[in-house]
């Protein structure tokens, strides 16, 4: 039998409950890393598919890395902030209801806990206990009636985790192009191997975090990232004649 994740001694349980729930930003980092790697390698694959020099892949990849990373960070900030704003709006609404229609709100608590199997004097004691503390009353309504998380993530921290993971992991496909001596074909081949390993590694870690099969999660991420890369490579090949013609026109 494997060891339990944490102690179930009364004092240990009390300490965990006193500390409260700590927001995790690992999800933001993993999603940022996956998106960064896919986005950057798509750029690299399209440039290689078009037969352009490695310096172009490096330049476009870096530009995409910073711009898209910032965009994703901002988007995550707005998303997390919207969730927190929704919680605060619901909190104000519940405060208003409690102060203006307390009996109606007590009845909601009563029915919520009756659905959990409580009845009789025990149910009434629960209603009295919760409604005696307005803060507890509101938090209970937010969780039970609205299905909201009272302790949410900080928007700025979520955005920063997303941005830095996007940039750090997204830089992996560009590393071989820092060595011009490799040539575009070899650099692309090395980039492909490094990116495939990164995709699998990210998926493996994601599987550990969310409790999925780690091997399956790694393979799924590898397949999704590889699919994006293949599409980008094909598109780059389709537009290669157009890009070559434009290059010749500019040079002349």
153 — alpha (psi -120 to 50), left (phi > 0) or beta? beta
Dihedral over Cα of 119, 120, 125, 131: its sign: positive
- Residues 252 and 80: their CA atoms lie apart, in Å, by 51
Tens-place pLDDT, residues 169-209: 999 999 998 888 788 888 888 988 998 898 888 888 878 77
Instruction: Among 9-13, 19-23, 53-57, 205-209, name the most confident range.
Output: 53-57
Neighbour-count burial of 174, counting CB atoms closer than 10 A to its CB (0-12 exposed, 13-18 middle, 19+ buried): buried
Say what the alpha-carbon torsion angle 127, 131, 133, 136 is, to the nearest 10 degrees: 70
Q: How far apart are CA 230 and CA 223, in angstroms?
A: 10
- Could you tell me how far CA 47 lies from the centroid of its own chain? 28
Question: pLDDT (tens digit, 9 = 90+) per residue, 25-69?
Answer: 778 888 888 888 888 888 888 777 777 788 888 888 898 899 999
Domain assignments of the chain as residue spans, ordered by start: 24-251
């Amino acid at each position: 039998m494997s060891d339990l994740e944490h102690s179930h001694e009364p004092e240990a349980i009390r300490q965990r409950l006193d500390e409260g729930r700590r927001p995790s930003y690992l999800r933001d980092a993993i999603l940022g890393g996956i998106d960064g790697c896919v986005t950057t390698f798509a750029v690299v694959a399209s440039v290689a598919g078009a037969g352009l020099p490695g310096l172009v892949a490096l330049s476009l990849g870096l530009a995409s890395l910073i711009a898209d990373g910032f965009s994703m960070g901002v988007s995550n900030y707005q998303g997390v902030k919207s969730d927190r704003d929704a919680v605060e709006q619901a909190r104000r609404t519940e405060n208003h209801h409690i102060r203006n229609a307390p009996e109606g709100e007590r009845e909601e608590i009563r029915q919520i806990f009756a659905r959990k199997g409580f009845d009789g004097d025990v149910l009434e004691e629960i209603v009295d206990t919760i409604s005696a503390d307005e803060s507890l009353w509101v938090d209970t309504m937010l969780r039970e009636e609205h299905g909201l998380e009272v302790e949410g993530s900080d928007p700025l921290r979520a955005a920063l985790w997303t941005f830095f993971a996007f940039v750090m992991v997204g830089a992996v496909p560009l590393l071989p192009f820092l060595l011009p001596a490799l040539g575009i074909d070899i650099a692309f081949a090395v980039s492909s191997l490094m990116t495939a390993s990164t995709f699998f590694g990210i998926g493996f870690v994601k599987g550990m975090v969310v409790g999925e099969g780690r091997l399956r999660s790694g393979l799924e991420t590898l397949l999704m990232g590889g699919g994006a890369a293949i599409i980008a490579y094909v598109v780059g090949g389709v537009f290669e004649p157009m890009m070559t013609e434009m290059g010749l026109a500019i040079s002349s």
